[in-house]
Amino acid sequence: MTVVNVKDLQEGDVLKNDLFRGGTLVLKSGTSLTKAVISKLRQWDIPSVDIRSAQDEHHVSDENEQETNVVNNSPDSVPSVSEIKNDFFNNLLKIGQEYRYGFALNDAVDYQWLEGLFIKFMSTGKIYKLLEKLKDWDYNTYQHSFDVFILGTLFAKKLKIDDIEQFAIGCLLHDVGKLEIPKSILDKSSKLSQQEYETVKNHTIYGYKILKQQDFPEYVANLAKSHHERVEGSGYPEGLKNAEIKEEIKALAIVDVYSALMMARPYRHAYGSTVAETILLKECKMVEDYYFYTFFRMLDIFPLNAIVELTTGIHAKVIDTNDKVPFYPVLEDRYKSNRIEMPLDRSVKIKKIIRF
Ligand SMILES: [Fe+2]
Q: What pLDDT shows up at residue 81?
A: 93
pLDDT digits (tens, 9 = 90+) for 126-163: 999 999 999 999 999 999 999 999 999 999 999 999 99
pLDDT digits (tens, 9 = 90+) for 331-352: 999 998 899 988 888 889 899 8
CA of 145 to the centre of ligand 1 (A): 9
Burial 143-164 (b: 16+ CB within 10 A, else e): bbbbbbbbbbbbbbbebebeeb
CA of 158 to the centre of ligand 1 (A): 23
* Rounded Cα distance, 151 and 101, in Å: 8
Do 310 and 350 meet the contact criterion of CB atoms below 8 Å apart? Answer: yes
**Residue 14, strand partner residues:** 32
DSSP secondary structure, 220-269, as one string: HHHHHHHTT--TTTT-SSS---GGGS-HHHHHHHHHHHHHHHTS-BTTBP
Q: What pLDDT shows up at residue 324?
A: 83
Q: What pLDDT shows up at residue 175?
A: 98
CA of 174 to the centre of ligand 1 (A): 6
CA of 257 to the centre of ligand 1 (A): 9
**81-270: what fold?**
Hypothetical protein af1432 (1.10.3210)
CA of 203 to the centre of ligand 1 (A): 7
Q: What pLDDT shows up at residue 48?
A: 83
* Residue segments in the chain with a per-residue pLDDT below the cut of 70: 1, 18-31, 36, 43-44, 54-76
Per CATH, the number for 2-67 is 3.90.105.10
Domain ranges of the chain: 2-67, 81-270, 303-355
* Rounded Cα distance, 46 and 26, in Å: 12
**Residue 316, strand partner residues:** 308, 333
CA of 233 to the centre of ligand 1 (A): 17
Q: What pLDDT shows up at residue 54?
A: 63
Q: What angle do CA 178, 184, 189 make, to 5 degrees?
A: 100
Q: What pLDDT shows up at residue 97?
A: 80
CA of 108 to the centre of ligand 1 (A): 30
Helices (H), the chain: 35-43, 54-59, 62-67, 81-95, 98-101, 108-122, 125-137, 139-159, 164-173, 183-186, 194-201, 203-213, 218-226, 247-261, 273-283, 289-299
Q: What pLDDT shows up at residue 21?
A: 58
CA of 210 to the centre of ligand 1 (A): 14
CA of 223 to the centre of ligand 1 (A): 10
Q: What pLDDT shows up at residue 29?
A: 65
Q: What pLDDT shows up at residue 63?
A: 38
Q: What pLDDT shows up at residue 243?
A: 87
CA of 234 to the centre of ligand 1 (A): 15
CA of 65 to the centre of ligand 1 (A): 44
Nearest to 287 by CA among 236, 251, 244: 251
